[in-house]
Chain A
Amino acid sequence: MPVIRVGIERLVRLTGLRGEELEDVLFRLKCETETVEGEIAIEVNPDRPDMFIGEGIARAVKGLLGIEKGWKPPKAEDSGITIRAGRVPSRPFIAGLVVYDAGVDEEFLIELIQFQEKLHEGMGRNRRKIAIGLHDLDKLPSTSITYEASGLETVFKPLGYGEEMSGREILERTEQGLKYGRISLEGNTHPFLYSGGEVIAMPPVINSDITRVEPGTRSLFIDVTGTDLGLVLQVTDLLASTLSERRGAWIGKVAISGVPGVAETPLLKTRKMRLSTRYVSRLIGSELGAEQCIDLLGRARFNAGLAGGDSLIVEVPPFRVDIIGEADLVEDIAMMIGYDRLEPSKERPIMRGELLAETLVSRRLRKLLVGLGFTETMQLILSNPRVADSLGFRNYIEVSNPVQAEYSIVRPSIIVSLLSTLIKGQHSTKPVKIFEIGKVAYLDEGRVKEDLRLGVAYLDDEVSYEDIQAPIYAILRLLGVRYSVEEWSRPPLLSGRASMIVSGEAIIGWMGEVDPGALEALGIEYPVAVAEISVPRLSSSPKT
């Protein structure tokens, strides 16, 4: 989850709260906080990008406290800046905005860049869907800006590199180029942003040094480029409606040409939604009146009003990109009430609980096996292919992106887990008698099959078929299973000292001594006998 760092003093200034009171309010706004060296690290939920910066957090805090309610659009005037978009197939859309009197200082600059980065990561999907360029308005060479795809030989001075480079050099030599250079590259061309003939950005990779934003920058020009027009406009509105919260700041509109259906940005577009108070009451489980809902929605910074009957009209401000439907508004109402003030209700009808048949059989098996002197072990289902290979299993499912080679397959048999346990467990007090009940998955003619299995292993200085046969027979008899065994063998069992267990028409399991070759390959220095039984087949087998 995104973690936002804000200077404590700055946040105190913005919200008027400090200490535990501040932490408590943030907790009620979905945020977990941790204070470290003059900074407060706030874990913000990814659905609230409007809270990725102090000003946005403060807006939410003031709403929750009832200091400010609803939302009024900021002052917005024509900036005189125009963006003309050419044909940029790899990244076709662009929008822009101006934030006047943003008054960038050192603290704000750090947060502004953090805001930009978090938007890139989340909504931008690592700059693929959208990317944001920040510029010092006063450093723009011209108010006429063009966006077009140009050849990689285009030269400019990238931000933070102090020397002129060609587009190609930037892609090959800079950190940003290596990370984001492929996103919008098309053949030999890449999107560039020009102002008065000079390159001011190479989105989504890097900006030019000439419009560098630094402490002392008074006003900002911001470009937003991307592959999804709706998202580009949404982010532009999010930036305008959030950065304008900065004291004294106001918005300049940018004229756009060449983007279908868009004449100027930001749109500062609000959406109107209907909300039924009956739905709110039913979903929360508390009776809420219309006035109460309007008040709570106002605290959540929505403008709400009566719309006749039990209906409300709710105006969703442009920064609330997370609001999709009525349910989202209900959550905000619940948050404004406070989850701690919603009494948990314990009045559901009484129902009869029920466990899976396999759970019940497994519980019986556990008791019987412990009675027979076997100790239960538990291993991960993700297993080591080396162990499975040594045991002669071939039908296992491989993970295509394993984190570690030792955990790169799904166990096809519990025997893989038991023998893995015995590699280390062989030095425990003898005899080592263990069992595990758990799921396995394997391939059967190209299809994935899953099963719940009981596996049993017996290790000692001397071990024979009977050592495993006797307890398995005991279990089968006690469960009243009608069974027979057939001499049978498959790896890793020793032929002539292994059998399969048959009940009715089905093979329900197998048992026998493990091949010394397999034991040697695993580094197990004691003989081992094993058995494996399918729990579902065991429970559905014919009984005496």
Chain B
Amino acid sequence: MDKGPLRLSESEYRVIERAADKGFRRGSISEASKILGIEEQALHSIFRLLESKGLARVIVEEESRIQLTSRGEEALTKGLPEERLVGLLRGRREASIDYVRRELGREAGIAIGLLRREGLVVVERGIVRLVDEDRALERVSRTRLSLEKARRGEAIEAEEASTLKSRGLVREEKIRRYLVEFTMDPRDIKSRAVVEVGKLNSSLLREGRWRNIVLRRYDVKAEPPRVLPARTHFLAEFIELLRDIMRELGFKEVQGPLVELELFNFDVLFQAQDHPAREIHDTLRVKEGLAGDLGKYGDLAERVSRIHERGWRYKWDPRVASRLILRSQTTAVTARFLHTRPDPPVRAFTIDRVFRYDPVGPTRLPEFHQLDGIEGDYDYSFRDLLGILSNIAERLGLQVKFKPAYFPFTEPSVEGYVRFPGGRWVELFGAGIFRPEVTEALGVDYTVGAWGMGVERLALAFYGLSDIRVLYTQDIDFIRSFRVVV
């Protein structure tokens, strides 16, 4: 045999080491377990591994053992049926069948049949007669002896065993015995052993044993278990990207309420109170009984009233303006901010949710994010507005073009269309210079450019997705396994 190093696992090595110390070479597994101080089950699998390396053999011996059944046990204590019959006939030599049946009960038939087959009794005209008492006694005691042997776990003669088995008095049990044997002296194995370890661990390092071991080679191409990281949500990441762009462009983030007065959502934005966008099929209203309060906005409401009645020629109703809705545009937020009359130059933005009367579907949701921005100064111009829109598109890596448009609260108005590399033109910005009616109502005396954009549609294009509902998925593994976009 080759005299090279033998690669052993740590547990294999432990068995070899102990066998070498204790001088164990061959024995049953239970002996080995006692000598080596290793639990039988574990030892068995280690020997199997050693066998596969040609260092040991596991020999299986199968032996059968006759064991007493519970019926056999009963027969030994109560007496075998034939034994009881012989006992009954002994002395008087014969008895009527009826008598035998009375005495032996259900066992009478078994006893008579058995002894008659061997010619030890005869039955004639209802009389059972013992033929040869000595032979009968000898027959009966031989059976008893066999049963007693079986009880002690000793072997019994094969023919007898099969008879007793068929009578259900004994059963045969197969027993496996394992013998383990080293194919060479464990001391030699130990001297050639190199311990191979699956994983380096702290005790190997602490005890310096890492020097004596070899780390097992990996199948480096094998597929590892699949793991998923904890993640931030991809839509949230996109929103943060937009926030960063706005901050870099010098904008200050502002916020406002979700549950908003129509005053800020519509009236200050010069949307007449009978404007179709204010109907219940466009705007989500808060359940009745909840009225907003214009008290804090007396001056504003008064200016709005004057401007609406002049511009749209109708009687402006403060009750309509005080209705609470779920804001339909984040321009309500920037309008609120302007109402604080910040000193120019002003640059502010908000990214938050808006609500619309739309069912959940692949292209629309009743709720989505808008980015709204405003820029204001005394010398602010429409070209400055086009400039900031170009800047934002540029930072998103998009081409932009402008189209004249209409919004009730801006003039001039513009829509910004963007194109992703290779894609088609998609409307992204709605923008314009706030109408003088709007700035007048808000109480600012400088020009204000404003724009809004839907975040979700842009996010879908950014990530190459098509169904807007995916952005609000409830499949957590989908979020965890979402492809990273750099």
Chain A residues packing against B (C-beta within 8 Å)? 27-30, 32, 45-48, 122, 125, 129, 228, 230, 282-286, 322, 324-328, 330-331, 334-335, 339-340, 342-356, 358-359, 363, 366, 369-382, 397-404, 407, 410, 420-421, 423-425, 428-429, 432-434, 437, 439, 441, 443, 446, 448, 450
- B381 contacts across to A, CB distance below 8 A: 282-286, 345
| Bound-complex Cα distance A360 to B355 (A) | 25
- A45 contacts across to B, CB distance below 8 A: 405-406
Q: Could you name 18 residue pairs across A and B whose Cβ atoms are closer than 8 Å? A: A45-B405, A282-B379, A283-B433, A286-B381, A330-B382, A342-B382, A345-B381, A348-B387, A363-B240, A380-B367, A381-B258, A381-B353, A400-B285, A404-B366, A410-B258, A421-B474, A424-B474, A428-B477
Decide yes or no whether B404 CB sits under 8 A from chain A.
Answer: yes
- B231 contacts across to A, CB distance below 8 A: 370, 375-376
- A286 contacts across to B, CB distance below 8 A: 381, 383
- Interface Cβ pair total, 8 Å cutoff: 247
Q: Of the 9-residue stretches B23-31, B97-105, B356-364, which lies at the interface with chain A?
A: B356-364
CB distance from B165 to the nearest CB of A (A): 50
Decide yes or no whether B311 CB sits under 8 A from chain A.
Answer: yes
Decide yes or no whether B153 CB sits under 8 A from chain A.
Answer: no
CB distance from A284 to the nearest CB of B (A): 5
| Bound-complex Cα distance A358 to B384 (A) | 30
Q: Which residue of B lies closest to A333 (CB)?
A: B412
Contact with A along B343-387 (1 / 0, CB 8 A): 001010000110101111000011100000001010101111011
| Bound-complex Cα distance A410 to B284 (A) | 11
- A379 contacts across to B, CB distance below 8 A: 472, 474
CB distance from A71 to the nearest CB of B (A): 20
Contact of B387 among A345, A355, A369 (CB under 8 A): A345
Decide yes or no whether B411 CB sits under 8 A from chain A.
Answer: yes
User: Which residues, 187 to 226 on B, are CB-close (under 8 Å) to A?
Assistant: none
The number of residues on chain B lying at the interface, defined by a beta carbon within 8 Å of a beta carbon of chain A, is 86
- B359 contacts across to A, CB distance below 8 A: 403-404
Contact with A along B283-301 (1 / 0, CB 8 A): 0111110100000000000
Decide yes or no whether B228 CB sits under 8 A from chain A.
Answer: yes
Please determine whether A434 and B476 come into contact, CB atoms closer than 8 angstroms. Answer: yes
Please determine whether B412 and A403 come into contact, CB atoms closer than 8 angstroms. Answer: no
Chain B residues packing against A (C-beta within 8 Å)? 228-233, 235-236, 240, 243, 246-255, 257-259, 274, 276, 280-281, 284-288, 290, 311, 313-314, 324, 326, 345, 347, 352-353, 355, 357-360, 365-367, 375, 377, 379, 381-384, 386-391, 401-406, 411-414, 433, 435-437, 447, 471-472, 474-477, 479-480
Contact of B253 among A230, A356, A423 (CB under 8 A): A356
Contact of B476 among A343, A380, A425 (CB under 8 A): A425
Contacts A282-B379, A397-B259, A399-B286 given; does A407 touch B360 at CB 8 Å: yes
CB distance from A28 to the nearest CB of B (A): 7
Q: Which residue of A lies closest to B406 (CB)?
A: A45
Please determine whether A380 and B365 come into contact, CB atoms closer than 8 angstroms. Answer: yes
Please determine whether B436 and A342 come into contact, CB atoms closer than 8 angstroms. Answer: no
Contact of A228 among B313, B402, B411 (CB under 8 A): B313
Please determine whether B286 and A400 come into contact, CB atoms closer than 8 angstroms. Answer: yes
Q: Which residue of B lies closest to A230 (CB)?
A: B313
Extra contacts, 13 of them, besides A331-B411, A335-B412 (Cβ < 8 A), are A28-B404, A348-B384, A348-B387, A355-B253, A370-B232, A397-B287, A399-B287, A403-B359, A404-B359, A424-B475, A425-B474, A441-B258, A441-B259
- A46 contacts across to B, CB distance below 8 A: 406
Contacts A400-B288, A428-B476 given; does A339 touch B386 at CB 8 Å: yes
CB distance from A16 to the nearest CB of B (A): 22
